[in-house]
């Protein structure tokens, strides 16, 4: 065999080059460009040379202090995300606990998983329009259903009321995503060392104890992943509220993405304002992601590392491996 004299390390750079180039052109440059536009007076259909404002932070100030619509969009985004994420996570956890419990041995699991995941695969715009038609007033399928069941006498104008409109948008998000979260969590549970569960059952732990003492703590990484992807998804929520009610009634389902889209592309061409709003959204997602990484960090593991660091060198190396 030939001795390894040739260095192949340059291929590391070559093979990741397409990724880097595409990132620089299609992500990094547009983000920087967006940031710059946020400091300018760029508006209108015909592009003008870039002109930085005398007071560069004017757009940001206007948005945060003088634009009730933008503030509302931020609040709505947060509200819609929390009201769909919390029940989504709880239901997904419950189903995970059921489906992974060997003693319960639920039959038809495969079919349940397939059906519960199904709403996630269909185009969000189809689902938005579909639900818009289902909740139609005065005669729509849901209204018919409610009257058939005797829940109401008069048809309900679901889409005119702020609370029900928000509730429905958040329900659709919940309905589309809990199946996905469930499957991810189930996979996480399957990845936990079975010996942990065995020893717990030998020690006489009941279902609740096993779930809260073993399953949940072992799922930390997966939960962090779900939390962060869901948060980025929630911050950029667009298709459902846009096509369901176009932000109405009275901006109660207007999200930040819709605000950005509305400012820049729906006839007003306020690129500077939209860009500043994008940057605020970007900052919020960065701060929240950082915060979650910090809060969900493995405290026990960190402590353990400290202790082991003082111990033997080999033990230290092993602890790093984990």
Q: Among candidates 292, 291, 288, 176, which has minimal Cα distance to 237?
A: 176
The sign one gets for the Cα dihedral 202, 204, 207, 208 is: negative
**Least distance in Å: CB of 312 to other proteins?**
26
> In this chain, which stretch among 60-68, 80-88, 151-159, 187-195 interacts with other proteins, using CB under 8 A?
187-195
Q: Which is nearer to other proteins, 35 or 216 (CB)?
A: 35
Report the alpha-carbon angle 243-240-249, nearest 5.
65
**Quick check: 256 and 49 in contact, CB under 8 A?**
no
Chain positions 237 to 296 lying near other proteins, rule: CB under 8 A, are 238-239, 242-243, 257, 260-261, 264-265, 271, 274-275, 278-279, 281-282, 285-286, 289
**Least distance in Å: CB of 121 to other proteins?**
5
**Least distance in Å: CB of 230 to other proteins?**
12
Non-local (6+) Cβ contacts of 34 within 8 A are: 275, 278, 279
The sign one gets for the Cα dihedral 116, 122, 126, 128 is: positive
Verify binding: residue 137, other proteins, rule CB under 8 A.
no
**Quick check: 127 and 215 in contact, CB under 8 A?**
no
Chain positions 221 to 240 lying near other proteins, rule: CB under 8 A, are 221-222, 225-226, 228, 232, 235-236, 238-239
Residue with token string 């052109």:
25
> In this chain, which stretch among 54-62, 72-80, 111-119, 298-306 interacts with other proteins, using CB under 8 A?
111-119
Verify binding: residue 32, other proteins, rule CB under 8 A.
yes
Chain positions 41 to 100 lying near other proteins, rule: CB under 8 A, are 47, 95, 98
């Amino acid at each position: 065999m030939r001795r390894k004299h040739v260095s192949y390390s340059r291929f590391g750079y070559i093979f990741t080059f397409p990724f880097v180039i595409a990132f620089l052109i299609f992500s990094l440059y547009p983000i920087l460009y967006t940031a710059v536009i946020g400091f300018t007076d760029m508006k209108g259909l015909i592009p003008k040379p870039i002109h930085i404002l005398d007071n560069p932070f004017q757009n940001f100030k206007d948005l945060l202090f003088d634009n009730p619509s933008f503030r509302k969009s931020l609040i709505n985004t947060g509200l819609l995300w929390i009201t769909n994420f919390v029940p989504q996570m709880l239901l997904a956890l419950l189903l995970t606990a059921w489906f992974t419990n060997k003693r319960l041995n639920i039959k038809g699991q495969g079919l349940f998983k397939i059906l519960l995941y199904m709403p996630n695969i269909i185009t969000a715009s189809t689902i938005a329009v579909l639900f818009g038609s289902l909740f139609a007033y005065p005669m729509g399928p849901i209204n018919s259903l409610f009257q058939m069941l005797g829940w109401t006498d008069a048809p309900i104008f679901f889409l005119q009321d702020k609370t029900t409109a928000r509730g429905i948008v958040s329900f659709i998000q919940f309905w589309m995503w809990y199946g996905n979260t469930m499957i991810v969590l189930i996979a996480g549970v399957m990845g936990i060392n079975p010996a942990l569960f065995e020893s717990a059952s030998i020690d006489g732990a009941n279902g609740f104890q096993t779930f809260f003492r073993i399953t949940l703590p072992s799922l930390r990484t997966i939960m962090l992943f779900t939390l962060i992807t869901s948060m980025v998804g929630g911050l950029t929520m667009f298709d459902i509220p846009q096509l369901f009610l176009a932000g109405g009634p009275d901006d109660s389902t207007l999200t930040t993405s819709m605000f950005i889209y509305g400012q820049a592309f729906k006839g007003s061409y306020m690129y500077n304002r939209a860009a500043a709003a994008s940057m605020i959204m970007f900052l919020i997602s960065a701060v929240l992601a950082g915060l979650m990484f910090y809060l969900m960090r493995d405290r026990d593991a960190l402590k353990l590392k400290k202790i082991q660091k003082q111990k033997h060198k080999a033990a230290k190396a092993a602890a790093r491996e984990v």
